[in-house]
Structure 1
Amino acid sequence: MTSTKMTIHVQGMGGLLQEQSLVIGERAVRLHKIPTGSAVTLQFGAARHQVKVVSASHLDGIRIGEPLADKLGLHHGSVVGIRYKASSKTLSIGPLIGVMMSRVYSGSHDRPFGNNTTFCKELTDTCRTFGAFVYFFTASDVGSGHSTVKGWAWSGRSWYKADFPVPDVVYNRLTTRKLENDPGVQQFMREVRSRHGAAVFNEKYLDKTDVFEALKKDASLLKYLPESHMFKNFQMLKSMSSRHQVVFLKPITGSLGKGIIRIARLSSQSYSCQTTSLNGTVRQTFPSLEAAFGSLSGKLKQRRYQIQQGLHLIETGGRPIDFRALVQRGSGGAWGVTSIVARIAGSNHFVSNLARGGSLSRVKEALAKTGLTALQQRNASVGLRKAALDIAGGIEKQVAGHFGELGVDLAVDMNGKVWLLEVNSKPSKNDGTPLAEGAIRPSVKQTVLYARYLAGF
């Protein structure tokens, strides 16, 4: 079943246009074999309305009356795809995509989503290019038992708020676990799936230990996995430190490099302990592992940690390098690598996050600055892409949930071997590359194409 991109023309009533009628260009009517003069069901997200289609020879789009447009939340100039299913006499327009955001700054008409407003406009522009309609809403905008959602959309000139139908596809961009675990949000996601048949992707955060435990079940992925466990007690730290010169303690639900602890064995009687801070790295030396653990015991009781084998990563100028691969599903639903960038740790930091002073580089340029041979560099470059796809496939098979994109953090050791560091189900879309005026960022394009695929457009 094919779809055609069409522009919505909202008009006042009169002439050929009655409240429950649509005027559609003759070419699209013929192409999709849409019957005229008899009732069909107009579907937009969860909304259903009985309408009568009128064909117009010189119209390149869909003419819709203001009352019906208002019910659907459509504005003049909206761009949608259309398709017709003869067996059910259903004319579908869309897809309708709803993006769940963390918050709206209602007092800021130009930037209702704060720093995320630019992304929201970019997503809107990309939807127009490919024929889709997107609106944005927050956890407080969802209710129970309703078929509409209060949300925000960009008209091309300004943001407006309206009641929209429950979407065909929900894209979860909530940025905190607290919001995501809100009972109202969880009920909404269950209800739109069960009652309205909507697809929900990136539906939950991933915990570090859960990911590693799940991926261990796939023998083909073991080569990427450093030894990792849920941290329990001193005996586990002692056992790991006896096998590995360096171990890391990472908060299970941490992000941006916050709270990571690095413990290194300097000699049989000496250990160093490094912790992250906004100003750099705090380093202490202890005469024994027991002393190091004692200094950390208060912090370790406050949250859950993953303990992980430390790796001897490639470096440039003494600064460790790791890699972020953005892996996304696209128009056919299959995983593909959208981008891979190298992340170089800032001075006085042992993590590469940009929030900790890290910087971005192209993969080839970063590898060239290391001690790897030319052959190792080529193999590592290929290996990073393969690992990212293998791990995304492993997440799909072994972890419950629907994910449309993953940020896969990878490392390369001094022998050129590729390792997995962690997987993020809410990756940033900024890959550090400049965007020309009017260009479409590949990551945003893939999001829209996948949403169209999920909705059957």
Structure 2
Amino acid sequence: MSKTKISIQVTSSGVTQEDVLMIGESTIKQWKIPTHQYVMLQFGSFKEHVKIVSVPKYNGLRIQTPLARRMGLFSGAQLRFHFRNGTLRLGPLISVLVTRDDPDNLEKPFGTITLFCKELVDACRSQGAYVYFFTPEHIGSSTNSIQGWVYHERWQKVMMPIADVINNRLTSRKFENKPSVQQFLKEVKSRYNTQFFNEKFLDKTEVFDALRGDPALQRYLPESRLLRNYAGLKTMCAKYSTVFLKPVRGSLGKGIIRISRQGTMYLAQYATINGTKKLSYPSLLKLFESLSGKMKTTKYQMQQGLMLIDNTSRPVDFRALVQKNATGKWHVTSIVGRIAGSNHFVSNLARGGSLSTVKEAVMKSNLPQSVKGEAHLKLHKAALEISKGIDTRIPAHFGELGIDLALDTSGHVWLLEVNSKPSKNDNTPLRENKIRPSVKQMIEYSRFLSGF
């Protein structure tokens, strides 16, 4: 990756010609940039011929206001650059595709993720990158440029070139699958070689079916299959005393149903925001019939119930954030313990769960003392292997994955699910003036993808 970073100074018109860039003399000598002749200036999809003028005892890059506006640049930006084959390339230019914005709320244009977006802006500045944010609503008929949000003293909308790298942070399948979004992404990848990562949601069935094909990963997979009919549910419930039904396209623990036998009765526990709702049925058939309405709109994945560790009868699981790093390799950025809230059987924060370190979650659990010491290492190994398996077996570009893992009471690691849009508020809390490792890693991977 290029280590050269330069400060951008935007100057008023009239000082020099609009198509002239003024660069420090030492930088020009280092990169052997020809002066007083035209070279190609590139910033994301933006390309324009400019003339280079050398400035003694100056370390930055001076650019005229009209040209800076066409590039979406402001004074004070810190960018990396390189000069090769007659092209002076600035970047990386990164964009983040978010679900929605609120132009009337300039304090929080992105709602609850505004702090994360600002953290990303600050991290880009420290690493010599430039970031903007856009929504599906900003996508028009042209792929030459796009309106996006940048932060310069305040949040503001400007016309931007298409970025070198797009990070998909859409939280809705409906928006992701819009024809305008899919066509835009197809065009910018083809036309500008834009790199687009986390390009789609993962369904639970898709993940388990893909990983089941790798013998090395089978040990992490509880038995799991699509709920198609009563016969399938009967087979699973005959085999296991507890079976979970998980919406194939669910998230945040929504809609999960826990089925267990109690003598001749069957108990169904439903995960709701207010706690666990319990209903008893005289037979499995009656329980299945109660689900028939839900099954018309929701596909369920049946999953083997496991004897997982708990903390004072509250289930414990783990979220590993695995990201690609500065060399394009998978790296475990963090693993946290998640303890279910009282009266809940799922651990998601949205359902009253709480976070802890892996060590604390394990030490306070009912895991045998003899295997507590190796728990973190086993979780780390599983997260890394599962990420590589998904990369190999699912034809899509992923740069980060949230991998939910669990330990049973013998210390065996199990995969619960994989999230291709891991929440930025679900692992480590936002800390004022502190850039989290997960944010730094995202920018380093973007630099790797864009050649900076």
Write the deviation string for residues 363-397 of structure 1: whole angstroms up to 9, x where unpaired: 00010011223331122211100000000000100
Cα deviation, residue 318, structure 1: 0.4
- Once residues 433 and 180 of structure 1 are traced to their aligned partners in structure 2, the CA distance between those partners, rounded to angstroms, is 26
1:348 paired with 2:343, answer: yes
Where does residue 74 of structure 1 map in the other structure? 73
User: Residues 11 and 387 of structure 1: is their aligned pair in 2 closer, same or farther, counting only changes over 3 Å?
Assistant: same
Q: Is the 8 A contact 1:339 1:431 kept in 2?
A: no
Cα deviation, residue 101, structure 1: 1.0
Cα deviation, residue 31, structure 1: 2.1
Q: 2:101 aligns with which of 99, 104, 110?
A: 104
Where does residue 409 of structure 1 map in the other structure? 404
Cα deviation, residue 292, structure 1: 1.6
- Once residues 390 and 196 of structure 1 are traced to their aligned partners in structure 2, the CA distance between those partners, rounded to angstroms, is 32
Q: What is the correspondence of 1:131-280 to structure 2 with a 5 Å cutoff?
A: 131-155=128-152, 157-267=153-263, 269-280=264-275
Write the deviation string for residues 229-281 of structure 1: whole angstroms up to 9, x where unpaired: 111000000001111111111111111111101101223x2221101111100
Which is further off, 175-184 or 35-44?
Answer: 35-44
- Once residues 390 and 31 of structure 1 are traced to their aligned partners in structure 2, the CA distance between those partners, rounded to angstroms, is 43
1:364 paired with 2:359, answer: yes
Where does residue 122 of structure 1 map in the other structure? 119
Which is further off, 76-85 or 295-304?
Answer: 295-304
Q: 2:444 aligns with which of 434, 438, 449?
A: 449
- Once residues 370 and 79 of structure 2 are traced to their aligned partners in structure 1, the CA distance between those partners, rounded to angstroms, is 49
The runs of 5 or more residues in structure 2 that have no matched partner are none
Q: Is the 8 A contact 2:368 2:410 kept in 1?
A: no
- Once residues 30 and 3 of structure 1 are traced to their aligned partners in structure 2, the CA distance between those partners, rounded to angstroms, is 16
The number of residues matched between the two structures is 452
Q: What is the correspondence of 1:35-74 to structure 2 with a 5 Å cutoff?
A: 35-74=34-73
Task: Report the secondary structure of 1:49's partner residue.
Answer: strand
TM-score (norm 1): 0.97
TM-score (norm 2): 0.98
Where does residue 4 of structure 2 map in the other structure? 4
Task: Report the secondary structure of 2:258's partner residue.
Answer: strand
Cα deviation, residue 176, structure 1: 0.4
1:390 paired with 2:385, answer: yes
- Once residues 27 and 140 of structure 2 are traced to their aligned partners in structure 1, the CA distance between those partners, rounded to angstroms, is 37
- Once residues 127 and 61 of structure 2 are traced to their aligned partners in structure 1, the CA distance between those partners, rounded to angstroms, is 16
Q: Is the 8 A contact 1:396 1:403 kept in 2?
A: yes
Q: CA RMSD in A?
A: 1.3
Task: Report the secondary structure of 1:249's partner residue.
Answer: strand
- Once residues 74 and 187 of structure 2 are traced to their aligned partners in structure 1, the CA distance between those partners, rounded to angstroms, is 27
1:374 paired with 2:369, answer: yes
- Once residues 343 and 371 of structure 1 are traced to their aligned partners in structure 2, the CA distance between those partners, rounded to angstroms, is 15
Write the deviation string for residues 105-140 of structure 1: whole angstroms up to 9, x where unpaired: 011122111111111110000000000000111101
Cα deviation, residue 55, structure 1: 1.6
- Once residues 428 and 221 of structure 2 are traced to their aligned partners in structure 1, the CA distance between those partners, rounded to angstroms, is 29
Q: Is the 8 A contact 1:152 1:159 kept in 2?
A: yes
Cα deviation, residue 174, structure 1: 0.7
Write the deviation string for residues 345-378 of structure 1: whole angstroms up to 9, x where unpaired: 0111110011111111110001001122333112
Write the deviation string for residues 420-451 of structure 1: whole angstroms up to 9, x where unpaired: 00000000123554555432110100011111
Q: Which amino acid aligns with 1:292?
A: L
- Once residues 163 and 144 of structure 2 are traced to their aligned partners in structure 1, the CA distance between those partners, rounded to angstroms, is 9
Q: Percent identity?
A: 53
Q: Is the 8 A contact 2:143 2:187 kept in 1?
A: no
User: Residues 236 and 452 of structure 1: is their aligned pair in 2 closer, same or farther, counting only changes over 3 Å?
Assistant: same
Q: Is the 8 A contact 2:314 2:345 kept in 1?
A: yes
Q: Is the 8 A contact 1:144 1:187 kept in 2?
A: no
Task: Report the secondary structure of 2:216's partner residue.
Answer: helix
Q: Which amino acid aligns with 1:4?
A: T
Task: Report the secondary structure of 1:107's partner residue.
Answer: coil
Task: Report the secondary structure of 2:17's partner residue.
Answer: coil
Where does residue 307 of structure 1 map in the other structure? 302
Q: What is the correspondence of 1:412-431 to structure 2 with a 5 Å cutoff?
A: 412-431=407-426
User: Residues 433 and 172 of structure 1: is their aligned pair in 2 closer, same or farther, counting only changes over 3 Å?
Assistant: closer
- Once residues 436 and 295 of structure 1 are traced to their aligned partners in structure 2, the CA distance between those partners, rounded to angstroms, is 45
Task: Report the secondary structure of 1:392's partner residue.
Answer: helix
Q: Is the 8 A contact 1:4 1:28 kept in 2?
A: no
Q: Which amino acid aligns with 1:47?
A: F
Q: Is the 8 A contact 1:343 1:352 kept in 2?
A: yes
Write the deviation string for residues 151-179 of structure 1: whole angstroms up to 9, x where unpaired: 11001x11121110011011111110000
Q: 2:287 aligns with which of 277, 287, 292?
A: 292
Where does residue 282 of structure 1 map in the other structure? 277
- Once residues 189 and 433 of structure 1 are traced to their aligned partners in structure 2, the CA distance between those partners, rounded to angstroms, is 31
- Once residues 403 and 30 of structure 2 are traced to their aligned partners in structure 1, the CA distance between those partners, rounded to angstroms, is 43
Task: Report the secondary structure of 1:220's partner residue.
Answer: coil
- Once residues 254 and 280 of structure 1 are traced to their aligned partners in structure 2, the CA distance between those partners, rounded to angstroms, is 17
Q: Is the 8 A contact 2:319 2:427 kept in 1?
A: no
- Once residues 90 and 220 of structure 1 are traced to their aligned partners in structure 2, the CA distance between those partners, rounded to angstroms, is 46
Task: Report the secondary structure of 2:347's partner residue.
Answer: coil
Write the deviation string for residues 403-423 of structure 1: whole angstroms up to 9, x where unpaired: 000000000000000000000
Task: Report the secondary structure of 2:160's partner residue.
Answer: strand
The runs of 5 or more residues in structure 1 that have no matched partner are none
- Once residues 200 and 141 of structure 2 are traced to their aligned partners in structure 1, the CA distance between those partners, rounded to angstroms, is 20
User: Residues 245 and 149 of structure 1: is their aligned pair in 2 closer, same or farther, counting only changes over 3 Å?
Assistant: same
